[in-house]
Amino acid sequence: MLSDSTERDRTIARARLQFLTHAEPPAQIVPEGIRNSWQRSKYLGVGTDEVVVPYQPDFDRESRLVRAAAPVLDRLEQALAGSDASVIVTDRKGWVRDRRVGEKRLSTHLDRVHLAPGFNYAEQFVGTNGIGVALEERRPNVVLGTEHFNERLQNVSCAAAPIRNSVTGRVEGAMNLTCWNGPARTLMAALVQEAAGDIERVMYEFSSSHQRALLEAFQQVSHYGDRPVLCLGQDLVLANSAASARLTGDDHRLLHEAAAELGHAPRSRKEVQLTGGGTVLMRCRQVNSSAGAAGYLLELAFSDLASGGHRPRSGSRTRTEQEASRPWPLPGLAGTDPAWNTVSRTASRCARDRTPLLLHGEAGTGKSALVGAAHALTGAASAPAVVDATAARSTAGGDLPTALREAAAGAGRALVLRNVDAVTPEQGAAVAEALEAAAAQGTWIVGTLHQAHGVPEPLRRCFVEAAAVPALRHRLADLPALVDCLLRRVGADIECAPEVLPLLRRHGWPGNIRQLDAALREAAAGRRTYRIELRDLPPSLHSAGGRSLSAWEASERDTLVQALLAAEGNKLLAAQRLGISRTTIYRKMRSYGITLPGSG
């Protein structure tokens, strides 16, 4: 008679074979987490009979994760000596960083299937396995024998749990326990979760030590004078007012990267270009704690301050200058770019004073959203009434002046005339009269259009002030904040993987924030994990081609991008899957301006 576990293995194996050979979803007897992983693995085209994974022999063996895991793995290695079990730690992307094995036969098998330091065991490469599922779903899991997607892994069972940063909550890696199939395999989950918790506690101790060292270094330097000072750690940013007023979150990232490049050289200097276009000369020194390198202390000299002090000291700036440099938050919007701050302040002031305002800027830059937010800031209970001159003109029997007169007017109301430049000369006088009548009742009048010089002559007297709304490509420093703001509208728990933002920055965004919003919604709807990955973004974002494409060319470009994403940028593998040569892949990529991470 077969044992219950043996019979279960055979049942799961039959369900897997049926799933691979038919289009139907996996049978319900398969655990839900395994079913979901099988479907993701099949969609990604992961192989079932050979383990083909990328290899990176060079990695930081002194990283905080590796150093925190070492004492835990040392203890487990002693406890598991001679047993048929191994413990493995990976980083957040699935790269194996350390491994300890209890017996030689298992070690040989793990080497054969590349479950060893330097190799990547993310789900996208190996299919269903403990490490891959734990990182995809951000929760502990157990994958037993035949539940593995790849046949080469089915004679072992594994349990894995994510390792989280106790300060930020971010997943830093995974702890995995792998052993031969046997009766004790279901008891692995508790051990691996306990080990992951131990590593998290060591990492927290490191963080505390690092933060104390950084704070002490920052206080020692910032205590003297008012020069800009910035302290950067993995989970901590400290800046005095002279630095924080001039730097964005993107600037912090650029400065951190520049500091890391300087390495251990004492008191090194380097000039760095900031996201706003200016430059800063930084003097950098590494800050160490009892737990190792904690971060960097940067003393800064901005380009307009380093040339002999032509700019007044911060203490002598006028009140107007100080006010103008501060961010001006509006409800539901995001950004601290100077041009965006200026138009936000102007719109808010005009809304408060009921001053007629003309907003000009490219389509999709957020003109209507800006008006709505500025109007809401006054405490208004109703949204602005919007009349589109283009729509009124294209509607049979449409009468723009009548539509404006019928819009709700009065104190606490706002009236927006969109596409002012679409008002015909014949309608100009009547439209101006309708706008003036609404303004006389206390209505805030706003006109929007693409270019300020497109306002018909009779309407010019209707608007007292004008302001430009910057295009997204001119305020890319605001991109992280905009992405967070737009994703909150889609779902509270959605975020972008770290490699997504650099790709978004490279795009030209001709459709501005409206196009960004559409791209994020599409990516969020099609994502396969809690966060948006590169593979989830619309194919058009991976192409930098400037020419207009035909429908057939756009389809070919999208197919090519999707194949490259599925192959993690491996051109040879993508070419094989598409049935074309790698030379053709390179030629098509150049033609469409496709840039993707990875190599092949």
Question: What's the gap between Cα 177 and its chain centre?
Answer: 31
Task: Round to whole Å and give the CA distance between 74 and 103.
Answer: 15
| Confidence bin at 578 (pLDDT 50/70/90) | confident
| Confidence bin at 14 (pLDDT 50/70/90) | very high
What pLDDT, on a 0 to 100 scale, did the predictor assign at position 448? 92
What pLDDT, on a 0 to 100 scale, did the predictor assign at position 306? 42
What pLDDT, on a 0 to 100 scale, did the predictor assign at position 546? 53
What pLDDT, on a 0 to 100 scale, did the predictor assign at position 134? 94
CB count within 10 Å of CB 343 equals: 24
296 neighbors 272 (Cβ within 8 angstroms): no
Dihedral of the alpha carbons of 254, 255, 257, 260, in degrees to the nearest 10 = 180
Per-state percent for the chain, helix, strand, coil, to nearest 5: 50, 15, 35
Concatenate the DSSP letters of all residues of 496-518 into one string.
E-TTHHHHHHHS--TTHHHHHHH
553: pLDDT strictly greater than 80: no
Return the higher-pLDDT residue of 539 and 439: 439
What pLDDT, on a 0 to 100 scale, did the predictor assign at position 194? 92
What pLDDT, on a 0 to 100 scale, did the predictor assign at position 600? 41
9-23, 151-165, 219-233, 517-531: which range is least confident on average? 219-233
What pLDDT, on a 0 to 100 scale, did the predictor assign at position 110? 95
Return the higher-pLDDT residue of 436 and 319: 436
Q: Nearest-CA neighbor of 282 among 264, 311, 303?
A: 303
188 neighbors 142 (Cβ within 8 angstroms): yes
Task: Round to whole Å and give the CA distance between 211 and 205.
Answer: 10
Q: Work out the mean pLDDT of the chain and round it to a whole number.
A: 82
Concatenate the DSSP letters of all residues of 285-338 into one string.
EEEEETTEEEEEEEEEEETTTTTTS-SPPGGG--HHHHHHHS----TT-----H
Question: What's the gap between Cα 544 and its chain centre?
Answer: 19
The domains of the chain are located at: 7-205, 228-306, 320-470, 538-600
186: pLDDT strictly greater than 70: no
Question: Between the ranges 180-189, 358-367, 573-582, where is the mean pLDDT highest?
Answer: 358-367
291 neighbors 213 (Cβ within 8 angstroms): no
Q: Which CATH superfamily is domain 228-306 in?
A: LuxQ periplasmic domain, N-terminal subdomain (3.30.450.220)
The amino acid occupying position 292 is G
**pLDDT tens, residue by residue, 349-401:** 999 989 999 998 889 999 999 999 898 888 888 889 999 988 766 554 468 88
7-205 and 228-306 in the same fold: yes
Task: Round to whole Å and give the CA distance between 460 and 445.
Answer: 13
Average pLDDT over residues 310-317: 43
What pLDDT, on a 0 to 100 scale, did the predictor assign at position 596? 64
What pLDDT, on a 0 to 100 scale, did the predictor assign at position 1? 40
What pLDDT, on a 0 to 100 scale, did the predictor assign at position 34? 93
What's the half-sphere exposure (Cβ side, CA atoms, 13 Å) at 328? Answer: 21
Question: Is domain 320-470 in CATH 3.30.70.270, yes or no?
Answer: no
What pLDDT, on a 0 to 100 scale, did the predictor assign at position 524? 87
What pLDDT, on a 0 to 100 scale, did the predictor assign at position 271? 82
195 neighbors 202 (Cβ within 8 angstroms): no
What pLDDT, on a 0 to 100 scale, did the predictor assign at position 317? 45
39-48, 498-507, 518-527: which range is least confident on average? 498-507
**In CATH, what number does 538-600 get?**
1.10.10
2: pLDDT strictly greater than 60: no
Q: Which CATH class name applies to 7-205?
A: alpha beta
95-109, 209-223, 323-337: which range is least confident on average? 323-337
Average pLDDT over residues 496-507: 80
What pLDDT, on a 0 to 100 scale, did the predictor assign at position 111? 94
How far, in Å, are 357, 389, 468, 473, 541 from residue 512 at the CA level? Answer: 22, 22, 14, 7, 13
Bridge-based pairing of strands 414-418 and 385-388 is parallel
122: pLDDT strictly greater than 90: yes
